[in-house]
Amino acid sequence: MVVNFRIAPGVAASVAALALAAAAPSVAETPASSGAPAIEGSSAPAAGAGAVSLPPTPTAWYADPGVGAAAPVSPDMLAKGTEDPAGWLHYGGGYRNFRYSPVSSLTPASVPHLHAAWSAPTGTTGQFEGSPIVYGGVMYLTTSYDRLFALDAKTGRFLWRYDVQLPDDLRLCCGPANRGVAIAGDHVFMATLDAHLIAFDRRTGRVAWNTTIANYKDGYSVTSAPLVVGGLVYTGVAGGEFGAPGFVDAYDIVTGKLAWRINTVPTDAADPAAKTWAGDSWKSGGSPAWTTGAYDAGTDTLFWTVGNPSPDWNGDKRAGDNLYSDSVLALDPHTGRMKWHFQFTPHDMWDYDGNTQLFLVDAMVGGKPVKAIAQPDRNGFFYLLDRSNGHFIRATQYVEQLTWAKGVDAQGRPIVDPTAAPQENPTARVCPSNLGGMNGSWSGAYDPKQGLVFAPSIEACQEYVKGIAVYVKGVPFMGGMPNTVDADAGKAYGLLSAIDVNTGQVKWRYRDPRPMMSGVVATAGGVLFTSTMEGEAIAVDQATGKRLWSFRMGGSGRGQPIVYQIDGKPYVAVPSGGWSSIDTLAGAGSMQPEGGHLFVFSLDP
């Protein structure tokens, strides 16, 4: 990702600067006899001369007594994922990251009759990338700038709310996103933009514990949903655009104490991985683990992906493969011990990361069943790996435009076109862009019945500029910048591609006039839900890619939709709200204003 870029010809902007100020929560009106949640306030700034003095602004509204199901969320419930359609308990739906709902009443015949059931505003600007969690009739929803809401999943009524009070000097690469919470027992867990992990009582909204993951001033933040397995909650960090060394952490869900940490770059010269970095360049090597992982119960393995090495676009001083950047790590969930790794883009010079969603699929390879990992990588290749040992099976092109590599060899190593490397004065148009392809900031989905992965992606190319790279802790460290030639020329567009995991071939593509930057959810009824940068929620036939239904939400689609069912009635929740800076970088900018809003649709019985 980038920190500085052109938002219009001749106009420069800084993502880090744009993301510094947290949106202020609105004042709550709470009648004493209303039975409304208890509130917690903070001091309001002093009023200037002649200004109206207002009460302190609340920052938390609690539910006393608690709301939602009395029974705690058990490990067995988490293991079953979306098997119970009344809930959505993981960012990826289940541990295998399918984002697939068993709800069967949403069919190509029925979805034209979908209607808006309720909606809820976030009150914040910035991209609304959250994926709701639903349990016991309560929806837990995060927003940009780390607001957390509990809402009635049937009606949208607000039940409790907590606004994290963020510092005004955050180190953010790519906007103030928060992609969701994890849930276990009687708590929900949220990571924050100032690199904290917070446990909340899921019934009241009160804080159970608050742990500092890292010093945000060193360049760290956390934007993605944590993952819970057993008694541990896992999270990784962002910070690759600041050279902040990456890691994955495990914390005790009861106490918040650190159980283990695995670093994604070497921490001393004796580490064998240090040999893949020239000199001591690993000390500022970035390689953030900023997306949500997956878990394989069969082998008791935690899978986590790793992002770009630092600096992004100038690899001169970090010659070598730069392990474990742009990799998937197979970890022992109890200790963090690495079982194996696979690197998608060695010595990444394009900011391709390795952080797009992992799908733990059962594939057929050469007529034999294989427990595999499928990943539509940001670099434009769709990978299939044996998840028992990391053995490379295949990589096929899933984007329409791919020029940075001529293919991959038998070991899965890209065959790089040397003319695609960043230059001080580039002339080569290189594809995909640094945003992808598919990107870890939005989700795909997998239909296990058809064996299809659905990957939303950007189709755009760039010129990659190599610049000066000087490392200062907590300061952007990128060594260049992409020229957004396709975005500036209006040539960027979007695809939603259905990819067969057994062959790696694209079965169908839905094309949108603007980049596809929203998540996806698939259903047993054969209908896929996503949203567009034009501000429409849409339904697509999973078998053909035909568009079946749409609803104009207004704001750009950047969030992760989910499907759940209560009292036999299906609900489809779709976030709406983009961030103009990143949207413009991708070639998807428009006059649409910012501001998050969740829309929930349903069918009448």
The more confident residue out of 493 and 25 is 493
Tokens of 424: 């001080």
Q: Is position 351 annotated as part of the catalytic site?
A: yes
| Residue 169 CB coordination number (10 Å) | 12
Checking if the pLDDT of 6 tops 60, the result is no
The total number of structural domains that make up the chain: 1
Report pLDDT for 31: 31
Structure tokens at 202: 């899921």
Residue 37, domain member (yes or no): no
Whole-angstrom distance, CA of residue 514 vs CA of residue 528: 19
pLDDT tens, residue by residue, 248-283:
999 999 999 999 999 999 999 999 999 999 999 999
| pLDDT per residue as tens digits for the range 340-369 | 999 999 999 999 999 999 999 999 999 999
Residue 235 lies in a domain: yes
Q: What is the reported pLDDT for 532?
A: 97
Is 90 exceeded by the pLDDT of residue 593?
A: no
Residue-wise pLDDT for 109-123, tens only, equals: 999 999 999 999 999
Q: Tell me the average pLDDT across 143-155.
A: 98
pLDDT over 90 at 37, yes or no:
no
Tokens representing 59?
């920052």
Q: Which of 228, 224, 230, 231 is nearest to 246 (CA)?
A: 224
Compute the radius of gyration of the chain from its Cα atoms. 23
Place of tokens 């899965």: 412
Q: Is residue 420 one of the residues assigned to a domain?
A: yes
Residue 527: inside a domain, yes or no? Answer: yes
Average the pLDDT over 460-488 and give the result: 97
Over pLDDT 70: what percentage of the chain? 92
Which residues are CB-neighbours of 355 under 8 A, at least 6 positions away? 289, 290, 291, 305, 306, 307, 378, 439, 440
Contact 38, 62 (CB under 8 A): yes
Residue 98 lies in a domain: yes
Average pLDDT, the chain: 92
33 confidence band (pLDDT: 50, 70, 90):
very low
d(CA 359, CA 384): 10
pLDDT score for 30: 34
Span 41-90, pLDDT tens digits = 653 444 555 778 888 889 999 999 999 989 999 999 999 999 999 999 99
Report pLDDT digits (tens) over 365-408: 999 999 999 999 999 999 999 999 999 999 999 999 999 999 99
In a domain, 36, yes or no: no
Rounded Cα distance between 436 and 439, Å, is 6
Average the pLDDT over each of 24-33, 119-128, 534-543 and give the range with the smallest value. 24-33
Question: Using 50, 70 and 90 to split pLDDT, how confident is the model at 591?
Answer: confident
Cα four-point dihedral sign 152, 156, 161, 166: positive
Angstrom distance (rounded) from CA 3 to CA 242: 9
Q: Between vectors from CA 309 to CA 305 and to CA 310, what angle results, nearest 5°?
A: 140
d(CA 82, CA 132): 13
User: Do 248 and 234 contact (CB within 8 A), yes or no?
Assistant: yes
Catalytic residue from among 163, 249, 312, 351: 351
Please give the pLDDT value at position 48: 58
Longest dimension (CA), the chain: 79
379 found inside a domain: yes
Whole-angstrom Cα distance, residue 322 to residue 316? Answer: 12
Residue 583 has pLDDT above 90, yes or no: no
> What percent of the chain is predicted at pLDDT more than 90?
87
* pLDDT-based confidence at residue 592 (cuts at 50, 70, 90): confident
Write down the pTM of the prediction: 0.93
Residue 592 tokens, joined: 């649409």
Q: Could you tell me which of 325, 270, 336 has the C-alpha nearest to residue 301? A: 336
Domain residues for the domain of 78 are 4-27+57-161+171-602
pLDDT at residue 301, as a whole number = 98
- Structure tokens, 136: 């016991």
Tell me what the mean pLDDT of segment 275-301 comes to.
98
Task: Provide mean pLDDT across the span 212-225.
Answer: 98
User: Is the Cβ–Cβ distance between 601 and 592 less than 8 Å?
Assistant: no
Distance, in Å, from the CA atom of 177 to the CA atom of 22, rounded to the nearest integer, reads: 11
CA distances from 64 to 19, 39, 212, 389 (A): 34, 10, 27, 49
User: What CATH number has the domain bearing residue 272?
Assistant: 2.140.10.10
State whether the Cα torsion 295-214-266-231 is positive or negative: negative
For the stretch 540-569, pLDDT in tens is: 999 999 999 999 999 999 999 999 999 999
Residue 42 in any domain: the answer is no
